[in-house]
Structure 1
Amino acid sequence: MVLQYSHEPFSNFKLDTNKKEFQESLSYVNTQLGKHYPLIINAERIETEEKTFSMNPANTKEVIGSISLANKELVEHAMQSASNAFESWKKWSLEHRANILFRAAAIMRRRKHEFSSYLVKEAGKPWNEADADTAEAIDFLEYYARQVIQLKDGIPVKSREGEYNQYNYVPLGVGIIISPFNFPLAIMAGTATAAIVTGNTILLKPADATPVIAAKFVEVMEEAGLPQGVLNYVPCRGSEVGDYLVEHPQTRFVTFTGSREVGCRIYEKAAKVQPGQKWLKRVIAEMGGKDTVAVDKDADLDLAASSIVSSAFGFSGQKCSAGSRVVIHQDVYDEVLNKAVALTKALTVGNPEEVSTYMGPVIHKDSYKKIMSFIELGKEEGRLVAGGEGDDSTGYFIQPTIFADVDENARLMQEEIFGPVVAFSKARDFDHMMEIANNTDYGLTGALLTKNREHIERAREEFHVGNLYFNRGCTGAIVGYQPFGGFNMSGTNSKAGGPDYLLLHMQAKTTSETF
């Protein structure tokens, strides 16, 4: 059987019909604000005294919802519920598990603009970015459902005369899913369902800033027929409960997307074998990047400029794949810089509920303060040529910012900012360009714009990143087309949306029968 796959198309908001439908969904979601979301453990709704509030980053006075927070006792209850559910869930056929994902994808597709509207309100995503996030979530569900069906008969191995050998995959156990704010639907749904469809049960800890969209997704999985205890929704304070989750002897694996600092801590904590633990835990980690857009002297300079701007400022630069450093051949440096500055100054920054907004706010106050401190640093390390201003009076808005003439070893060129700030650096030649591209601790994405075939082939070998793009920007990997995951301190190269991602959630079993 050949399984065809095509990705969920993005909505064209130039069409009045799509625009009207999205505006209607936004209006509906605006009537749903302020609701309370309890924990969901073993399908039971549990209210707690300790609560947190999800706020609109574009309007900090607007509450998206209140959320109950789990303590250690409730997390332990969730762990035991997931462990019990695993004993039956692991016995479900792969096709039956896949069908739940297919159904969930169909539900989300029917409610696509509604989910995107929650992303606008809770994450501050402009229309196009929100639409792409929802489309990617649908893609993950359908892709992993099809992928797992391909694994149902295992992998063929040889059998000698008088014996029959099989090589099959079995699930691991209980996993902890720790999802990020920047793709609060797509990455959260992808990491959760990859674990679930392979026969594992999970505790889902959503990002602190975006718990409502995760709660809405859990509701979809319940509607799709997921048995109780398989997916447990446990928002909690990572500082209080995070280590407990990671260190728990019944935790079999941890999937994390977030900062390098937290990812390294999880890796360290998970490596220690706890009393009563019978396995070595697996960690699937994606920990960010410091991604380079490189421009050769013979590149299409208009394409280069537009690729730089879209890579740097899409979703306010809050992507681990964002192009936050640009390396340009000295012969075309000034021309590309001027073109990029002109495009940047034309971008609209404001309320993401408006269809005309290109860039909304950054996610919260801590992020705003960090990014603004990098802008102050940039004024010392480079030449400010665009942006540089912020306004947190009503929301966390920062103008798209470009610094020119930054030294390749400056902090602005080395540290992940996770905001709408990009540094430009000059390269003497292609060798120097590759040297700068590889001089960070990260290795997630990169882009090279050039018409030189020899340089393209050299970059395939020399540009050390997990996702390398030619003659386009360095963001926008599509599930099933560009499996996503990086090298070095960007994480474990787990390749989400790729042909071997599901295997990370399973273990191989060989059986050999002699006749």
Structure 2
Amino acid sequence: MSKAISQVPFAINEPVRTYEPGSEDVKSLISTYKKMWKEKVEIHMVINGKEVRTKNEIKITSPQDHQHELGIYYKGDMTHVDAAIEAALGAREKWNNLGWEQRAAIFLKAAELVAGPYRDRLNAATMIGQSKNVHQAEIDASCEFIDFLRFNVEFMTDLYSEQPVSDAGIWNRSEYRPLEGFCFAVTPFNFTAIAGNLPTCMAMMGNVVVWKPSDKQIYSAQVIMDILTEAGLPAGVINMVFADGKDTAEKILKHPDFAGLHFTGSTKVFQGMWKMIGENIHQYRTYPRIVGETGGKDFIMVHPSANVEAVATGMVRGAFEYQGQKCSAASRAYIPASLWEDVKKVLAAQLKTVKMGSPEDPSNFVNAVIDKNSFDKCKGYIERAEKSSDAEILFGGKCDDSKGYFVEPTIILASNAKYESICEEIFGPILSVYIYKDEEWAETLKLVDETSPYSLTGAIFAQDRYAIAEAYKALENAAGNFYINDKPTGAVVGQQPFGGARASGTNDKAGSKMNLLRWVSVRSIKETFVSPKDYKYPYLG
């Protein structure tokens, strides 16, 4: 047991490396990329601290070159899910009894490993497996993951220190226990940091976890497990399984010891899992915690007073960084007629300089979409827009999957405010623009709020402070993360806690103490120093 009240290192955001042309940082990263590209990897499950392989070998390719075989991963079945649950429950008591400082030290060490010896490897795995350029890999796989680990330790200590007041003669305390049972983490392909954060933030609070990463993020997922193992994470605390998603969910969500779901992915899948939990509610030892961040149809709303260059830059960065495959990516923009021609000119000039290709070339701003399904979906929206009387392709529109899944940054100009590409989540490098009459500013704010069932991110561009205040109020329920004169992406841990409501999730704000509170069960303790010896109160005489 600890005999001190420990103060953890003060968390600061990890500095982002610039990877300027010719720098030692970019040389080192690209060298690592090339080396890993040539290797044939074997990616295994990790259950109870052991490497688990099966006879079901699944080929892994890269989005930027689907003919290049990176290696294989070993796919599991329900016996492996059962084993992961058993391992988690077996590790629970010992992990729960470990002092919080000891848990904190593991994840602080993991952060240092990411920041130092594993940085290039984790970034390169993200570039190869998820087709992120050097900058997108750096801000995600390294910096954001490091920030999650460091800030969550600080949030944990802040949470533990929150204690009730005590009256004379008594001592009141709060104990932040882990959930009773095991937790389930389901993570997406698009952010390595999210894949790392969802299982680790639960484990940090004393919980044990079964983790199912996306099979499109499996390369960097193994690097994460390597880092956690080297950091000293005990066997069984986080168990990584690769099995069918639907079958895994059904198996886990029927288990009586299931205690919590931490999910990032599609709205449809999350709603299906919530329904499944409801159907099994009578079987659980306790009511499970359900935290989910799902889809988005994120907006940029422009006022006639806005700066034209800032608007165009926000559109290009917000919509096309990481090929629009961010749940926060700008996918619809509302531009006043008085600014449109000027905005269009700046867009044309900027898009003319955008390069697309493999992340191996650091000068490429846009890379491949994640897989054939994504490519076909994007291509379908583009082809329908080309034929539609309600829309036209203004910029981009070319698609090529001969080598990799490349979709050119595309802007669709829609004359119908309810055209499909304005209303539906695409998750690709497609931005839809609607031009509104300047005098219809207020009506357009209402249109922005009502067009989408989602409420994740949104941005307002304006110099007029009255207009900003009006949009701030009119769109208060339209976005969980609201940006003023900036793109609607790039939330930083500890600075802009992330999450949305409506169809976008439970808004439990990853990157804040609010999220960690979901993974503890509080016990209130009252100790009376001198106990009463008679039941009679003074009013009884």
Bin the TM-score by the shorter chain.
over 0.9
Q: Partner letter of residue 409 of structure 1?
A: K
- How far off its partner does 1:345 sit? 3.0
Q: Partner letter of residue 351 of structure 1?
A: S
Partner of 2:80: 74
**3-state SS of paired residue (2:316):** helix
Unaligned runs of 5+ in 2: 1-6, 530-541
State the alpha-carbon separation in 2 of the partners of residues 52 and 74 from structure 1: 16
Q: Given the alignment, which residue of 119, 132, 155 partners 1:125?
A: 132
Per-residue CA deviations over 1:241-289 (Å, capped at 9, x if unaligned) read 2322233222111111111111111111122335642111121111110
Partner of 1:39: 45
- Paired residues for 1:146-225 under 5 Å: 146-153=154-161, 155-172=162-179, 173-183=181-191, 185-225=192-232
Partner of 2:358: 351
Preserved contact between residue 335 and residue 435 of structure 2 (Cα < 8 Å): yes
State the alpha-carbon separation in 2 of the partners of residues 27 and 59 from structure 1: 14
Q: Given the alignment, which residue of 364, 387, 399 partners 1:390?
A: 399
Partner of 1:93: 99
- Paired residues for 1:427-446 under 5 Å: 427-428=436-437, 429-439=440-450, 440-446=452-458
2:239 corresponds to 1:232: yes
Q: 1:403 to 1:208 in 2, by over 3 A?
A: same
Q: Partner letter of residue 37 of structure 2?
A: N
2:152 corresponds to 1:141: no
- Paired residues for 1:116-515 under 5 Å: 116-133=123-140, 134-153=142-161, 155-172=162-179, 173-183=181-191, 185-273=192-280, 276-379=283-386, 380=388, 381-428=390-437, 429-439=440-450, 440-463=452-475, 464-515=478-529
Preserved contact between residue 328 and residue 433 of structure 1 (Cα < 8 Å): no
Preserved contact between residue 94 and residue 152 of structure 1 (Cα < 8 Å): no
Q: Partner letter of residue 321 of structure 1?
A: S
- How far off its partner does 1:63 sit? 2.2
Preserved contact between residue 120 and residue 126 of structure 1 (Cα < 8 Å): yes
Per-residue CA deviations over 1:94-152 (Å, capped at 9, x if unaligned) read 21111101100111111212211111110011111111112111111111112112223
Q: Bigger shift: 126-135 or 314-323?
A: 126-135
Q: Partner letter of residue 96 of structure 2?
A: K
Preserved contact between residue 79 and residue 250 of structure 1 (Cα < 8 Å): no
**3-state SS of paired residue (1:496):** coil
- How far off its partner does 1:342 sit? 3.0
**3-state SS of paired residue (1:151):** helix
Per-residue CA deviations over 1:159-201 (Å, capped at 9, x if unaligned) read 2333221122111131111110011x20011111111100001
TM-score, reference length from structure 1: 0.96
Q: 1:34 to 1:90 in 2, by over 3 A?
A: same
TM-score, reference length from structure 2: 0.92
**3-state SS of paired residue (2:160):** coil
State the alpha-carbon separation in 2 of the partners of residues 64 and 479 from structure 1: 32
State the alpha-carbon separation in 1 of the partners of residues 70 and 153 from structure 2: 31
State the alpha-carbon separation in 2 of the partners of residues 30 and 210 from structure 1: 15
State the alpha-carbon separation in 2 of the partners of residues 213 and 2 from structure 1: 28
Q: Bigger shift: 473-482 or 263-272?
A: 263-272
**3-state SS of paired residue (1:331):** helix
State the alpha-carbon separation in 2 of the partners of residues 414 and 145 from structure 1: 39
State the alpha-carbon separation in 2 of the partners of residues 225 and 310 from structure 1: 39
State the alpha-carbon separation in 1 of the partners of residues 348 and 504 from structure 2: 29
State the alpha-carbon separation in 1 of the partners of residues 212 and 203 from structure 2: 15
Q: Given the alignment, which residue of 61, 70, 79 partners 1:64?
A: 70
Q: Bigger shift: 495-504 or 423-432?
A: 423-432
**3-state SS of paired residue (2:299):** strand
Per-residue CA deviations over 1:12-48 (Å, capped at 9, x if unaligned) read 12152222122222133224x3221222110111211
How many residues are paired up? Answer: 512
Partner of 1:12: 18
Q: CA RMSD in A?
A: 1.6
Per-residue CA deviations over 1:312-359 (Å, capped at 9, x if unaligned) read 000000000000000112221232133223322321111111011110
**3-state SS of paired residue (2:432):** strand
Q: Partner letter of residue 453 of structure 1?
A: R
State the alpha-carbon separation in 1 of the partners of residues 160 and 244 from structure 2: 38
Q: Bigger shift: 477-486 or 498-507?
A: 498-507
Preserved contact between residue 313 and residue 420 of structure 1 (Cα < 8 Å): yes
**Structure (1 or 2) with the larger CA radius of gyration:** 2
**3-state SS of paired residue (1:426):** strand
Q: Partner letter of residue 23 of structure 1?
A: I
Q: 1:82 to 1:469 in 2, by over 3 A?
A: same
Partner of 2:114: 108
Q: Bigger shift: 265-274 or 499-508?
A: 265-274
Per-residue CA deviations over 1:465-489 (Å, capped at 9, x if unaligned) read 1000111101100011000000100
Preserved contact between residue 398 and residue 407 of structure 2 (Cα < 8 Å): yes
Partner of 1:50: 56
